[in-house]
């Protein structure tokens, strides 16, 4: 359940693996105007970024780009997984913890584990780890 005080304030964050996933929660995006974090540029096999479309959506609803925004290509994420570059994901989680702390985020919404696309699954693992760290540090934070 989304806390009612997070519906229209900047205390929320949307963390997604790829551009376009924000459309799944467009109504909430308009109400909450969250900080939006996008792990990849959505280039997939084509190599062409889809980040511009997400940027346009965020501008229309007055949502805010997070510091992590299309940082990796899909190929870079897949290579990190295949090369067992777990430090990349650990550093990303630590950075996200710091950012969420600075922004005083109280609600995180993000991609679910689905067992099909590894970037989606990694995104959820990063969300869960970041929230667990924040909870252990005594932060009030909810997530789904």
DSSP-derived 3-state class of residue 74: helix
pTM score, two decimals?
A: 0.91
Q: Is the pLDDT score of 7 beyond 90?
A: no
- pLDDT for the residue numbered 127: 98
Q: Look up tokens 């190929």; give the residue.
A: 75
Across residues 89-103, what is the average pLDDT? 97
Fold (topology level) of 4-143: Rossmann fold (3.40.50)
pLDDT tens figures, 116-140? 999 999 999 999 999 999 999 999 9
pLDDT > 90: percent of the chain: 81
Name the residue ranges covered by the structural domains of the chain: 4-143
Q: Is the pLDDT score of 4 beyond 70?
A: no
| Inter-CA distances, 53 with 38, 50, 135, Å | 12, 6, 33
Decide if 41 contacts 51 (C-beta within 8 A).
yes
Give the distance, in angstroms, between the CA of residue 18 and the centroid of all CA atoms in the same chain. 9
- pLDDT for the residue numbered 5: 53
Residue 46's contacts (CB-CB under 8 Å, 6 or more residues apart) are none
């Amino acid at each position: 359940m989304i806390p009612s005080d997070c519906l229209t304030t900047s205390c929320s964050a949307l963390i997604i693996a790829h551009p376009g996933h924000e459309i799944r929660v467009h109504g909430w995006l308009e109400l909450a105007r969250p900080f939006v974090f996008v792990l990849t540029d959505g280039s997939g096999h084509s190599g062409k970024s889809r980040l511009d479309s997400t940027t346009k959506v965020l501008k229309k609803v007055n949502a805010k780009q997070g510091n992590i925004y299309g940082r990796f290509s899909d190929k870079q994420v897949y290579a990190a997984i295949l090369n067992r570059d777990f430090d990349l994901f650990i550093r990303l989680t630590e950075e996200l913890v710091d950012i969420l702390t600075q922004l005083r985020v109280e609600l995180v919404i993000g991609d679910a584990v689905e067992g099909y696309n590894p970037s989606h699954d990694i995104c959820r693992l990063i969300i869960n780890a970041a929230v667990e760290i924040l909870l252990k540090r005594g932060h009030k934070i909810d997530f789904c």
